[in-house]
Amino acid sequence: MTTAVVPGSPLPSQGDGNVYYILTDDFAYGSKLFPSGSMCFLKERLYLRSIACGTTSTRCMRVTMLDDHSIATVEAEILQPVNEEEAVFLLAINNLNERLNCFLDRCSLEVAVKATVGQQVIVDLSQHLFTGTIRYIGKISKSPLSSPLCPSYFGVELQGDGEGKGHSDGTYNGSEYFKCKQNCGLFLPLNKIQFIPALGSDPVREEPKPDVDEVVPVKAGDTIGFYLDDIFRQGIAMDVYKEGPQWFVKVCPEEEGPTDVFRDIPMDSVVKEGLLSPVFEPDMAPGSQRQLKRERSGSGEELESEKQSLDVNSMVQITLGKGNPVSGIIRWLGYLPSIEPKMAGVELDEEKGVTDGEWLGTRYFHCPPKRGLFVKLQSCQPDIRFQCVSSGLLDPRTCSRMDSPKVLANFPPLRNGTAVRVLQGRMRGIQGHCNSCYMDAALFSLFSCTSVLDSMLFKPSLPPDGHVQKILRDEIVNPLRRNGFVHANSVMQLRQQLTEKGQCSSFATSEKDPEEFLNLIMHHILGIEPLLKLQSGGQKEQECYCYQIFIDKQEGLVVPNVQQLVEHSFLSSNLKLVEIPSCFIIQMPRFGKEYKMFSKIIPSLELDITDLLLDSPRECFVCGDVATEECSECFKDKMFAVTGMKQYCKSCCRQAHSHYQRKAHRPTKLHVPEEFQSRSHMDSPRIPRERMELFAVLCIETSHYVSFVKYGPEKENWLFFDSMADRHGDENGFNIPIVTLCPEVAKYLQLPVAALAMEQPRDMEGVAKRLFCDAYMYMYQSKKMALYK
């Protein structure tokens, strides 16, 4: 193994520094277990010397762990190099799982390395997002003598609603790193902040605060006068900002007709309303001005009627400049102080606004920073994507203008605060239409917050199937990750293609099951490698994409967890996994849309598959030595633990089966890999566990699919997605997809099984009932295997 495993990692040059690594999987060494996400290093000179002498092992490397400075010999295949610039930011993240996520997703690291003091950020504090400005980047304590690295943090000054929610004034442990108001400062690792501009959005201009001695004569909301093309005009100041030494005003002119065309005017070229000379004031009443505009429009009555039809939650388009339209949702309608026209507060789909719902210190609605805009209602046009609903319910065959914009750039999955900021809200996620919920929920689960199946998007495809892949990648996944919204028309195009490719002619209209869709697109169309390889009793390998749990009704399983169900199912079918899957999709024991075997199922946040692997070393569950025999009858014995296969070393097997109740058991021999046959548990490391991480759950109550997605490492980090949560209009309307946070799930995950069994579904908080009572399909991932598949 060389230090150039990952493209972009620096090669050792002088041999005077260190080479840093992160563990992509748990690793046991002696009595210690180093979890995935742990970091370590070795001296370049030692590594280069060992190469020159030919003594370096290709399988293992002797490294020093950064967390406790212990020395261990670690398998090279689970070590990924990290350059020093990135390592200092990763080291500041205490949660090892989150640290590994930041390394694997990459984008947060790349942005962190390029971050500068004065840059605006969004801070994630207990699921609430606040704006702030970076005031310091670097270490906040001395590095221990035994450690070559000291973690780097971001010193952030909270602003707006976040003021007073910090913990310092820029001082930490008696040392001052920056200055700010009391309780407005925080020192945070990179996983707790999101940078502005966000990945994929247009750069957001930083708005410096005016100097103390600098007086800005105009502020947002003022009515001003200015010259444009030698003609004096009036308008409303929408924003005031500074570029270099010069101040500018973003102006919405009053005479631009029904669509706002914002103008950026130098501050010294505008004059505030109170200073306007009477000779420049309009020579007609406001009502006359509106009448003139109506006449200029050529269809004034229709225009006024159209504006009157717009209401709160209407989807609209606004032109910020020539050829620069943006879309959004009206969140507020009314009149602002000193402004005569009726105004609309709009939450934009992109960060092209100037507010978070505040106007001159008063809050009118809530939205993420830089997503809000106040404009004249007259300037709002109905969203062209929905103008044809009267001629057909979002039918692509009759609505050619409704095509969603393609996003050709590739975007990583959304995690943590970014996932909340981009995905949460109304008209978020994937819009449902015409029985599409099975596909909407599956696609949202597989691609919103994980990259485990991104091979579906990039695997080389033959020309006939390349069109399906382009729709999936450019019109569904990338728009979802960039904008947080996918139009129903994009999914309809995919459904029509599946109808043409598949044996069923009703994919575009009828309700299907998620596994039917997944098998068709993965196997028959894109031809990706099967996710699961199974073997039963020495027979020929079986390959599949989803695994259906089949078990007999178990009296001891009243409220089972997923771990128990998988183990019972594998045991009853005498199945083993031939290899570790990168993605493990599991269907629950329910048949049809009504019958389900268990009233509640507990999600296992981690699925331990160590003992389900074929010909893999396993531990005696009693003493921890290498297991040589397995007993399926002991698995059902109530004397033992409720989870975990029951395998033994020779001595423990003999002792366990000396009991009269177990003398009739017939243990089966296990295959022990050659390198483990002579191992003694007294002086050898424990066999590492293979665990998979839950990332999504599909649920169905009657005939409608919804999904839960895990967007971060904490138990509270859950999103709930419903592609048809609400509706606009009647039979000629359209569905409104909604994504909500559901931290209440964590409360029930922590309950004892007996207490959870007694919970009445109707009394469970929020949407938790749907996760525990309506689970249909669980999705697990192995990030380690995803690196190689």
Q: Which residues form the catalytic set?
A: 437, 704
* DSSP-derived pairing of the beta strands 231-243 and 246-253: antiparallel
Exposure string over 590-624, b if 16+ CB within 10 A, otherwise e: beeeeebbbebbbbbbebbbbbbeeebbbbbbbee
Q: Tell me which long-range contacts 254-259 makes (C-beta under 8 A, separation of at least 24).
A: 254/289, 255/293, 257/293, 257/296, 257/297, 258/293, 258/297, 258/303, 258/378, 258/379, 258/381, 259/318, 259/319, 259/379, 259/381
Distance CA 753, CA 643 (A): 14
* DSSP-derived pairing of the beta strands 153-158 and 128-138: antiparallel
Structure token pair of residue 756: 């959870």
- 585, 683, 780, 788 from 580: Cα distances, Å: 13, 27, 12, 11
- Beta-carbon count within 10 A of 670 CB: 17
Answer for the pair 153, 139: CB distance below 8 angstroms, yes or no: yes
* Closest by CA position to 18, among listed 50, 51, 40, 49: 40
633: exposed, middle or buried (Cβ count in 10 Å: 0-12, 13-18, 19+): middle
Q: 250 forms bridges with which residues in the sheet?
A: 239, 264
* DSSP-derived pairing of the beta strands 595-596 and 590-591: antiparallel
Read off the amino acid at residue 9: S
* Closest by CA position to 109, among listed 87, 79, 141: 87
- Beta-carbon count within 10 A of 682 CB: 6
DSSP 131-185: EEEEEEEE-SSPPPTT-S----EEEEEE-GGGTT-SSBSSEETTEES---STT-E
- Beta-carbon count within 10 A of 345 CB: 27
User: CA-based angle 255:261:262, to the nearest 5?
Assistant: 105
Distance CA 407, CA 477 (A): 9
* Sign of the dihedral through C-alpha 749, 752, 758, 763: negative
Answer for the pair 481, 414: CB distance below 8 angstroms, yes or no: yes
DSSP 430-483: E---SS-HHHHHHHHHHHSS--TTTHHHHS---HHHHHHHHIIIIIIIHHHHHH
Distance CA 114, CA 196 (A): 12
* Sign of the dihedral through C-alpha 588, 589, 595, 600: negative
